[in-house]
């Protein structure tokens, strides 16, 4: 008798369990959550984590029924890795396969980065390799750039240095302030990040 192979093949997960790490406002997290509400989106945001118990994004995620948790970095003092071990425990316990940093304002140690090689994304508000680090909009204006934008990249041990997955640019307009330019960039961030997460998650589902 023929073996019913379709019945004994393990079913592949349909969506990639994904965590978003935030430290504050969480508007990129909101954009990722909105995208992941579509059941056809290849990543499912199942966890939002923060180092900051007061991060407004935590309350908003919880209100939307997403597990949202803070692991305050302060009790760990200078021991960054001990804080990251606590984060890692929660990520593993939730079966997370992809991590999106979205305004997560802690520099990660090589220990945590090494555990998520190729599986941790970050969004940076500049066209890397230009303007790594902070105050990117001020610096782009000071430098007289005609174009500015945002980058989604894989996280490596060097801050804002990992392989670039995608970028979106905006024009710098006469009379721009860091606030007006930043708002223009942020609108593009909210489109770029879900698109790049979708691509990374789909690659995992496809076994690449
Ligand atoms: C964004 O501009 C992001 O590019 C940067 O931090 C900011 C976070 O904003 N890494 P939000 O918390 O997503 O609103």
27 marked as part of a ligand binding site: yes
Cβ-based burial of 192 (10 A; exposed 0-12, middle 13-18, buried ≥19): buried
* Rounded-to-integer distance, Cα 22 and Cα 25, Å: 8
pLDDT band with cut points at 50, 70 and 90 for residue 7:
low
What is the residue-averaged pLDDT of the chain? 95
pLDDT at res. 208: 83
pLDDT at 88 over 90: yes
Q: Determine if ligand 1 sits within 6 Å of the CB of residue 25.
A: yes
Calculate helix-pair angle for 178-205, 27-36, nearest 10 degrees: 40
Atom of ligand 1 nearest to the CA of 125: 4
**17, 94 Cβ separation under 8 angstroms:** yes
Ligand 1 centroid, distance to 22 Cα (angstroms): 9
What percent of the chain has a predicted confidence (pLDDT) above 90?
Answer: 93
Question: For a substitution probing ligand 1, which of 45, 99, 123, 164 has the most ligand atoms within 8 Å of its CB?
Answer: 123
Residues belonging to the active site: 124
Note the pLDDT tens digit of each residue in 97-134. 999 999 999 999 999 999 999 999 999 999 999 999 99
CATH of region 16-206: 3.40.50.170
pLDDT at res. 183: 98
**42, 17 Cβ separation under 8 angstroms:** no
pLDDT band with cut points at 50, 70 and 90 for residue 4:
low
* Rounded-to-integer distance, Cα 98 and Cα 100, Å: 7
| Mean pLDDT along residues 35-60 | 97
pLDDT at 6 over 80: no
pLDDT at 200 over 80: yes
Contacts of 111 (CB under 8 A, 6+ apart): 81, 84, 85
* Rounded-to-integer distance, Cα 128 and Cα 122, Å: 12
Please give the model's pTM, rounded to 2 decimal places: 0.93
């Amino acid at each position: 008798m023929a073996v019913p192979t379709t019945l004994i093949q393990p079913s592949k997960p349909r969506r990639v369990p994904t965590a978003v790490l935030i430290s504050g406002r969480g508007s990129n997290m909101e954009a990722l959550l909105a995208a992941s509400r579509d059941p056809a989106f290849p990543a499912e945001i199942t966890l939002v984590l923060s180092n900051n118990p007061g991060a407004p994004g935590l309350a908003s995620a919880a209100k939307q029924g997403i597990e949202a948790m803070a692991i305050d970095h302060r009790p760990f003092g200078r021991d960054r890795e001990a804080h990251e071990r606590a984060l890692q425990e929660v990520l593993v316990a939730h079966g997370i396969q992809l991590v999106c940093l979205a305004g997560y304002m802690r520099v990660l140690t090589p220990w945590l980065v090494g555990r998520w090689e190729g599986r941790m994304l970050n969004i940076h508000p500049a066209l890397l390799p230009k303007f790594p680090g902070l105050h990117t909009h001020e610096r782009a204006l000071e430098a007289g750039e005609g174009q500015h934008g945002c980058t989604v990249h894989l996280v490596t041990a060097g801050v804002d240095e990992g392989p670039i997955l995608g970028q979106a640019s905006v024009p710098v307009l006469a009379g721009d302030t860091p606030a007006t330019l930043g708002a223009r960039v942020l609108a593009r961030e909210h489109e770029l990040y879900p698109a790049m997460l979708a691509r990374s998650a789909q690659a995992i589902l496809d076994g690449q």
